[in-house]
Structure 1
Amino acid sequence: MTEQRNIVVLGASAAGLQSTHYIMNHILPTLKQSKKDAKYHVYLINPSSDWWFRVASPRVAASTSRMASEKILFDIRPGLKRYSKDDITFIEGTATGLSEPTRAVTYRRSGASIEETLSYHALIVATGSRTYHQAFSMSAATQTTLDSIKYTNEKVRTAKDIVIVGGGPTAVEFAGEVAEHRNGKPGYFSKVSKKANITLMTASDKLLPALRPAIAKAAEAKLKALGVEVLYKQRVVDASTSGDRTLITLAQGDRIEADLYVPAFGVEPNSSFLPSHLLDDKNYLRVNEKTLRVDDAGPRVYSIGDVASYSRNSILDIMNSFPALFVNLKRDLLAYNAMLPDEKPKGKDRLYVRDDKEMQIVTIGSGGGVGAIMGWKVPSFFVWMIKGRDFMVGMSGASTANGDSMKKEIAWTKEEAVI
């Protein structure tokens, strides 16, 4: 009897979704030609059939009149239908467990009460991360995020006092969108008329830690021109809701009240279903930072994206790590010998090398922003041209959702080949 070998991808984040399309386009066909002793099938498991273009969430969260939520919500099923049902199955459900000894994952389908088990020959964990404010990410049912968008929109529209906490791109971009929506744009010789008190506070001594201080100061100046007050070295220790107001307590003991409080700092990895011994002290999945294998979980287990310990929660980290993941996955699958199931492939692995060049583009309102590419500071109009117009939805939204971004195969070297 032909052996069934399942390739399971957990999570249809940007990392997991593109990984699935790459496997279907470039790895599965090779396996079919080269490995006649088994049948391969790809499974993609995700809580929703929608993919949320997270990059643009600050604009949608500020107001859907600035950008409709439908523009950044993509149904992933049409893109998967281009492949044969004999080769791939999409399961709308949530991963609930991982067993390394039996090489199986458990999951619960949406709306179901029972858990199901699925064995894997190879596994990619790409469950991503979740933000503290639901409007900025989608790690559960689609409606949960849409409800948060609706709530945040209404609060932005009516609030007199808005407090946004965080100093990274999401916090800065959301503050800029909210301020422009409420206060309008400043003129060449005129200031905005403040219709709401908008405060952005961070525990750090600067905004945008990935960028140099001069660029961070430029971001602060743009925010202030939109009517945003920026506060530094202010750490929130508690936020409690009373009626329609939120009482925010700072580490120094000061208290601030707001009609809308938005925690826009950091993320939490979606890793609660994983065994604790596979996680680091921050609950990220420990991964070999060079090969992207999860060495402690056994052979042919990998992780990519925000859930993995190597990541800095950046889309650039995801894109830059695709070559290492795809080449090593292909090597491991083609080299597999059922008589020696734990044997590593001969030849060289593709190694991931983190790019530490200053590289980040941050939109501040619809008119431009700040940033740097490959260590070079870019002007505000360039930020507008690349990102400010539509937060890059037109550039990469549909192509990621339907798999067009993964049409090109990553070539491997003679040293990496195992055929």
Structure 2
Amino acid sequence: MSEQRNIIILGASFAGIGSTHYILTHLLPALNAQHEAKYHLYIISPSPDFYYRIGSPRTATSTSLLPQEKLFYPLADAFKRYPASDFTLIQATATSLDTNGRFVCFKRHDSSTTEEESLPYHALIVATGSRTPHPAYSMHTSTEATKIAIKETNTRVKFAKSIIIVGGGPTGVEAAGEIGEFLNGKPGWFSTPTPKVDITLITADSLLLPALRPAIGKEAERQLGKLGVKVLYDRRVVDVSTLKSNSEDEKTILTLSKGEKLETDLYIPAHGVLPNSEWLPKNLLNEKGYLETNKSTLRVDRAGPLIYALGDVASYSRNNALDISDALPTLMINLKRDLLSYSPSTPNATIKGRDRVFQPLMKETQFVPIGSGGGVGAAFGWRVPSWMVWLAKGRDYMLGMAVPGYVEGSNFKKEHKWSVDEAVV
């Protein structure tokens, strides 16, 4: 019987699910055709479902706007066309990585035992992503926990008389727009409804949406204002405390960096993300907790051969979806080069040819819906009108493209071809 060589992918969000489809469609057949070993792909994910977090600002506001069922997709259905001889899905949380022994440790979620298991890897892709401060806007632990967070947020939004959202990036602006329209009403062509709920968006920056030009940030503030949302700039939250009245209604007290104290019915932290990297060896992480990744090749050089990182957990990433889709061809070409060149007798040998080099998109590109009527954004350095943001993203947060494209894999039917200089066979 030939040796089995495991390719392990950790994480099943955009980076993990995209890598899985591509490898099973294009790389595994080529590797197994060599007959040197039997290659098998494992994907390890804490949840049995893919969570479409891009749509969370609308669903977390109210499932009447975008039903939560549309944001969850069973991974078993996403990968059902692949044979069990090539692919295994494990519902588990990665707990540690041994780069000397070359194995991953994990704890299963679908087992009565809490014992840790291990799985050796031949190649490893770390795609564990990141999480938002608020549990409704990303998958923190499980599908059930995320659904509970969505339900609780829906209820609190519905009955709140005052809401404070902290964060001037896309999540904060989108959440403020969705909540503003849901509670205060949609403005007309020549009228703006009188606000029914006090909604404030706070940012530590001097402008909204710092990845875009200042004029677009000011336009975002203008559109939010029509939805009854006020914006406070240059303020950080330095303390958060809770207060319960005699009726057990919970209030949140925020202390800001300029000394203000604000009381609110609902506080939504929507500032930044945290990498899901606590389980990794500390010597592989940078000072912010991201997995130190070669920004050109997407290899994790410190961890040894055949280890890669993709998506938000990696140090190359700017925490956006474009940095996944743009980087995936580079990773897949370099993975193909490494695997087809591998020799057990010389595992660390230099590979002939040239690596594919990742070149991130540096032109201003970001679409930010503000309610259901439009939004702000830019594409490849060109500012786009509000109606185009609605057309591209604001209708359903691109859900109609994401499920068939990424989750079901239609985006990965075409193989990325290596150049003559990159080829090893």
Class of the TM-score when normalised by the shorter of the 2 chains: over 0.9
- 1:5 is paired with a residue of what secondary structure? strand
TM-score w.r.t. the length of structure 2 is: 0.97
Q: How far 1:77 moved relative to its partner? A: 0.7
Q: How far 1:373 moved relative to its partner? A: 0.2
Amino acid at match of 1:173: E
1:154 corresponds in structure 2 to 155
2:247 corresponds in structure 1 to none
Aligned mate of 1:361, from 357, 367, 374: 367
Q: How far 1:79 moved relative to its partner? A: 2.1
Q: Does 1:249 align with 2:255?
A: yes
Alpha-carbon separation, structure 1, partners of 2:252 and 2:404: 38
Residue pair 1:58, 1:136 contacting (<8 A) in 2 also: yes
Bigger CA drift: 111-120 or 322-331? 111-120
Q: Does 1:325 align with 2:331?
A: yes
Alpha-carbon separation, structure 2, partners of 1:61 and 1:69: 8
Structure 2: tracts of 5 or more residues without a match: 245-249
Alpha-carbon separation, structure 1, partners of 2:404 and 2:142: 20
1:211 corresponds in structure 2 to 212
Percent of aligned pairs sharing the same letter: 54
Alpha-carbon separation, structure 1, partners of 2:266 and 2:411: 38
1:104 corresponds in structure 2 to 103
Aligned mate of 2:289, from 270, 283, 291: 283
1:130 corresponds in structure 2 to 131
- 2:88 is paired with a residue of what secondary structure? strand
Structure 1: tracts of 5 or more residues without a match: none
1:395 corresponds in structure 2 to 401
Bigger CA drift: 84-93 or 70-79? 70-79
Alpha-carbon separation, structure 1, partners of 2:278 and 2:114: 18
Alpha-carbon separation, structure 1, partners of 2:131 and 2:335: 26
Q: How far 1:49 moved relative to its partner? A: 1.1
Residue pair 1:72, 1:397 contacting (<8 A) in 2 also: no
Aligned mate of 1:297, from 294, 303, 308: 303
Q: How far 1:391 moved relative to its partner? A: 0.5
1:193 corresponds in structure 2 to 194
Alpha-carbon separation, structure 1, partners of 2:295 and 2:260: 42
Q: How far 1:248 moved relative to its partner? A: 0.6
2:27 corresponds in structure 1 to 27
1:370 corresponds in structure 2 to 376
- 2:326 is paired with a residue of what secondary structure? helix
- 1:413 is paired with a residue of what secondary structure? coil
Alignment of 1:71-110 (within 5 A): 71-110=70-109
Alpha-carbon separation, structure 2, partners of 1:37 and 1:395: 39
Q: How far 1:187 moved relative to its partner? A: 1.7
Bigger CA drift: 14-23 or 392-401? 392-401
Q: How far 1:234 moved relative to its partner? A: 1.1
1:5 corresponds in structure 2 to 5
Alpha-carbon separation, structure 1, partners of 2:383 and 2:106: 45
TM-score w.r.t. the length of structure 1 is: 0.99
Alpha-carbon separation, structure 2, partners of 1:188 and 1:8: 53
Alpha-carbon separation, structure 2, partners of 1:289 and 1:156: 41
- 1:134 is paired with a residue of what secondary structure? coil
How big is each residue's C-alpha offset from its partner over 1:216-244, in whole Å with a ceiling of 9 and x where there is no partner?
A: 10000000011000110111011112221
